[in-house]
Structure 1
Amino acid sequence: MEWRTMRATRREVIAGAMSVTALGATGASSGQAARRPNFVFILADDLGAFDLSCYGREDYQTPHIDSIARRGMRFDLGYANSSSCAPTRVGLISGRYQNRLLAGSGEGGGYTRGKIGYPGDLPSLPGLFKGAGYRTGLVGKWGIGELPDYGPLKSGYDEFFGLMGGGIDYWSHDFLDPLTPGPRRPDLYEDETPVKVEGYATDLFSDRACDFIRRNADQPFMLSLHYTAPHWPWQTRDERGSPRMTDMHYEGGSPKIYRDMVLPMDHGVGRVLDTLGKHRLDRDTVVIFTSDNGGERFSKMWPLRGGKGELWEGGIRVPLIISWPGRIRGGTVSRQVAVSMDFLPTMAALAGIATDPSYPPDGVDLSPQLFGGPPLDRTLFWMTPGERLAALSYPWKYLRNGALEYLYNLDEDPTEHANFKSRNPAMLADLKARTLAWSQGMQKAMPAVPRTLVDQAEALETPKLPGK
């Protein structure tokens, strides 16, 4: 497959910008009200940067997700706001650095339980669209706070079907906390009511997404489809998986099982696209596909270093594809650096919705780049537990891992093994100073999960919990 790097003329850029303005306004040139675009935002869980065939995965094909790229734009420098689940979702829903909030300052989904979560009284991506007259729905994983204090309906979604926590058994729809072993807890909800439904979770989420589109075909809608695939436990449509000590499932999985978890998600995306087509909504709908963090275990990350939980590229680089047939030129490739918190301002701009001036996004509106504008220079920052900090001013990247510091040039060495800090001390000093200044305005990172607990889980030893 050939991909074209976006090079648009000035006339094409202006035409694209005019089309956005016209669609966001209350009337079109004919005097009739223009339909605002629908949005289908699809988020995979733990999908690595190169786990789609359009990004180079070779041992399986993802034709339906690839078709979004054929009809739109593929980003080669897509990033997640964090290297783990819940913090990225805080950045996504707020359009701001997740480190501004306690719920975004930890690791994974465990810290959001109990009294920590995304407050319902804060502005949010679904709340913004609901306030503008859109029908909003979340299907799949919420992961940023539990009832009764937090939940999707409290943050702007009109309806919800999925899990409140960070991950579930794909068949029994319950979970076992890997750090606090105890009885399994059911975690499947219809709005705020626990429900029991038979079926493989990935397929159930695809079914419900298609149903949401059918029921709302006559009004503008914003659908968040947050799959749990291909997050562990390692279970497929045909195999419920071997007995496991915890849901981290270190005694299971394989590249073949990973493939058989990704493919149902790809098939489900195909069904969602077909449903849009059947209702003649495909040209009225912006479709976005990305992942919440880098890959884990069976993902394809090479030549990137690291994976989920780390601030090397393998932990934060993710696939990112956006289509809007007839508006975004098909088959294009962008070198724009983009990150999860950009979706709120970008989607708002495409819909002609103003963001809350009292809660300004840290993300940027990338709609000019979608319509052919040149890449925007920017600097991004990350902070995770374990005294990990990073800054990216492409191609330069500063990384602090505990007491150790690195300076990478991603153009010269995308593997992040050549440390440039002695060769370019001025760049090191600049990025380090900016990173430290940024971090001073953020919440202090919560304590990291002790590495010994992770090592014990992988060795299939009963975790020796602190204080036990």
Structure 2
Amino acid sequence: MVKTALVAGTIMAASLVAVARTPNVVIIFTDDQGYADLSCQGSKEMKTPNIDSIARNGIRFTNGYSSAPQCGPSRAGILTGQYQQKFAMEQNAGTFTSFGLPTNIKLFPQYMKEAGYTTAALGKWHIGGKLKEYFPENRGFDFVWCTPETPFVLNGKEYDGRRFTKTSTHQTDIITIGACDFIEKNKDKPFFMYVAYHVPHSPYKSVPKWLDQNRDVQDKDRRILAGMISELDDGVGRILSTLRENGLEEDTLIFYASDNGAPEQKYPPAKTSNGVLRGQKGNLYEGGVRVPWLVQWKGTIPGGQVLDDPVITLDILPTSLAAAGRTDLIAAEVDGVNLLPFFKGEAPLAERPMFFRWDGWLGMRQGRWKLVYPIASRKTAPPPYDSGTLELYDMDADIAEQKNLAQSYPEVLQKMEKQMLEWNQTLTAPGWISEDRKAQLRKVYGEVGMTPYSAPGYTGRLPGEIPWKTKVGSEKKTKTPDSAPKKESAKNGRQRSVSARDKDGDGIVTLEEFIAGRVDKTAILTEQFKKWDKDGDGQLQPAEQRRHLK
């Protein structure tokens, strides 16, 4: 009897250990956070002790990349593990009703559910917010919070779901509340949680509690940013504490990254920072795609590592499946690689190419080399593709991309260009751009690189569909579900004039975007903006952009 009990106890203990080794997976994805806006990345002003702890307990990658320099496509990349340009998701298009990540493409939570995980999405979605088939609850997520049309009721309590309140900005606090509640309710089973905070995206606002903690920051605008990031860091700290309090710290694989680099040249000047990196959100220099990139799995991944091996957010999906013991689920179409052996120190990370393409820009990173094909401006038609435009940089010696080595290393350039152009031919045309823009991009990408995406259920931009930011006379204006009534052309013109200020294409016009380029009218425009901003959240939603015309 005693012997039998001992054997049974041993089997049970072994079984519990086996369960404990199936880790939870948590992704914390921030919005427009600059490479230099963490204290562990060298900032002297941003106070991020909780975020820094992820680096201290795990790995901080100095060459960590997002797959795009813009919100929507970067989210399509991290949630599929694929280059999003393969399925028309190259650019933001949130102002189109038809916009959404094609439903035939398998998402991260669908993989994790196959692996036995409960799944959650909290915060910014941005890959389909108008048609329900694109909503996260219809794409594999069991629990959704602060996503499109989410009711703000949790455990019978109704929360203030406004973007800005007297105690929090950008829903940072309410997102954190939802995350901690999900952990508490699912602590006894493996879970996958995708937490997409809105900060530090504009508009730049903070509240007294967090501003007071950053009085040492002299620049007023930087102090506001510091307040936003302090609130973000507090949220991350609460999530980490909840994991720890429930005995899950060593049973949770945590990733932290930003969706793209900081937008450093908006008016008023964005106070986020990419440090010494050249470029910003909206281009393929390092400032657009090199981002904070941290990982922690206490007890499994050795802590305190700072590594310069290039990694990309596409790697998170296959790495998570490997951690779950389900490498068999990693589909052939996944472009990221399994980093787990590298994380554990079991094998070096093999050198591999990482590619980028965005609105006329092309780029590639391999080993020490970075190849960039830049365009002058999104506002003008790019010239036909010209190899002489290519720029080559040595990332080991010049992360600021100041010394173009294209003439010094022609063999390296030609080899990389060949790989980049071959990859480009595997891609599809952006799904929601105008016919004029398609014609312009064909001159850069070529006909094959602009092949229309086709799949069951995928529509792309509907015939005649017009985004709110379309300018009068730019293309045929056919009445569509999300366009204004056509009975007063002057109103339509004003509507499009307002929405044309949506520079990042997220469907929302902030005060900064509303004023941009009209500094002499700041006071008048600010007052006008406040009148139209009916819910006082500091931004004009599409409905508010329409409402002021009535």
Return the TM-score normalized by structure 2.
0.68
SS at match of 2:133: coil
AA at the equivalent of 1:87: P
Q: Assess if the C-alpha contact under 8 Å between 1:48 and 1:294 holds in 2.
A: yes
Residue matched to 2:179: 209
Q: Does 1:459 align with 2:423?
A: no
Shift of 1:456: 8.5
Q: Assess if the C-alpha contact under 8 Å between 1:118 and 1:145 holds in 2.
A: yes
Distance 2:125 2:98 in 1: 15
Q: Does 1:38 align with 2:24?
A: yes
Give the alignment of 1:10-29 within 5 angstroms: none
Match of 2:286 among 313, 325, 332: 313
AA at the equivalent of 1:60: M
Match of 1:376 among 350, 363, 376: 350
Residue matched to 1:159: 143
Q: Assess if the C-alpha contact under 8 Å between 1:128 and 1:355 holds in 2.
A: no
Match of 1:255 among 187, 205, 222: 222
Residue matched to 2:237: 270
AA at the equivalent of 2:518: L
Q: Does 1:360 align with 2:324?
A: no
Q: Assess if the C-alpha contact under 8 Å between 2:58 and 2:294 holds in 1.
A: yes
SS at match of 1:443: coil
SS at match of 2:101: coil
Distance 2:124 2:195 in 1: 8
Residue matched to 2:119: 136
Residue matched to 2:80: 94
Give the alignment of 1:374-453 within 5 angstroms: 374-385=348-359, 387-402=360-375, 403=383, 404-445=389-430, 446=433, 447=437
Shift of 1:119: 2.9
Q: Does 1:300 align with 2:273?
A: yes
Shift of 1:125: 0.6
Match of 2:203 among 220, 233, 236: 233
SS at match of 1:254: helix
AA at the equivalent of 1:255: R
AA at the equivalent of 2:125: W
Residue matched to 1:284: 251
Match of 1:119 among 99, 102, 112: 102
Larger mean Cα displacement after TM superposition, 263-272 or 199-208 = 199-208
User: Cα–Cα, structure 1 residues 400 and 216, in superposed 2: closer, same or farther, change >3 Å?
Assistant: same
Structural RMSD (CA)? 2.8
Q: Does 1:351 align with 2:336?
A: no
Residue matched to 1:245: none
Distance 1:323 1:357 in 2: 21
Q: Assess if the C-alpha contact under 8 Å between 1:46 and 1:229 holds in 2.
A: yes
Residue matched to 2:475: none
5+ residue gaps, structure 2: 1-10, 212-218, 264-269, 376-382, 384-388, 442-468, 472-499, 504-512, 520-524, 526-550
Residue matched to 1:171: none
Q: Assess if the C-alpha contact under 8 Å between 1:234 and 1:253 holds in 2.
A: no
Residue matched to 2:133: 149
Match of 2:189 among 219, 223, 228: 219
5+ residue gaps, structure 1: 1-26, 165-186, 242-251, 463-468
Shift of 1:321: 0.8
Distance 2:518 2:188 in 1: 52
Q: Does 1:197 align with 2:161?
A: yes
Distance 1:450 1:395 in 2: 41
Shift of 1:150: 0.7
Larger Rg: 2
Distance 1:67 1:215 in 2: 25
Shift of 1:190: 5.4
Q: Assess if the C-alpha contact under 8 Å between 1:140 and 1:161 holds in 2.
A: yes
User: Cα–Cα, structure 1 residues 253 and 161, in superposed 2: closer, same or farther, change >3 Å?
Assistant: farther
SS at match of 1:149: helix
Shift of 1:139: 0.9
Q: Assess if the C-alpha contact under 8 Å between 1:336 and 1:376 holds in 2.
A: no
AA at the equivalent of 2:197: Y
Q: Assess if the C-alpha contact under 8 Å between 2:31 and 2:259 holds in 1.
A: yes
Match of 1:60 among 46, 68, 74: 46
Residue matched to 1:248: none
Shift of 1:205: 0.6
- Looking at secondary structure, tell me which structure has more strand per residue: 1
Larger mean Cα displacement after TM superposition, 144-153 or 62-71 = 144-153
Deviations 1:257-308 (A, max 9, x none): 1111111000011011111111111111111111100112212212110111
Shift of 1:431: 1.2
- Looking at secondary structure, tell me which structure has more helix per residue: 2
Distance 1:156 1:89 in 2: 15
SS at match of 1:110: coil
User: Cα–Cα, structure 1 residues 85 and 384, in superposed 2: closer, same or farther, change >3 Å?
Assistant: same
AA at the equivalent of 1:376: A
Residues matched between the structures, number: 398
Deviations 1:74-130 (A, max 9, x none): 11110000000010111111111010111x211x3536x411211334211111111
Q: Assess if the C-alpha contact under 8 Å between 1:345 and 1:365 holds in 2.
A: yes
SS at match of 2:205: coil
% identity of equivalent residues = 33
Return the TM-score normalized by structure 1.
0.79
AA at the equivalent of 2:107: S
Q: Does 1:339 align with 2:312?
A: yes
Relative contact order (alpha carbons < 8 A, sep ≥ 6): 1 or 2 greater? 1
SS at match of 1:163: coil
AA at the equivalent of 1:378: R
Q: Assess if the C-alpha contact under 8 Å between 1:160 and 1:189 holds in 2.
A: no
Q: Assess if the C-alpha contact under 8 Å between 2:146 and 2:161 holds in 1.
A: no
Shift of 1:238: 3.5
Residue matched to 1:6: none
SS at match of 2:365: strand
Q: Assess if the C-alpha contact under 8 Å between 2:318 and 2:330 holds in 1.
A: no
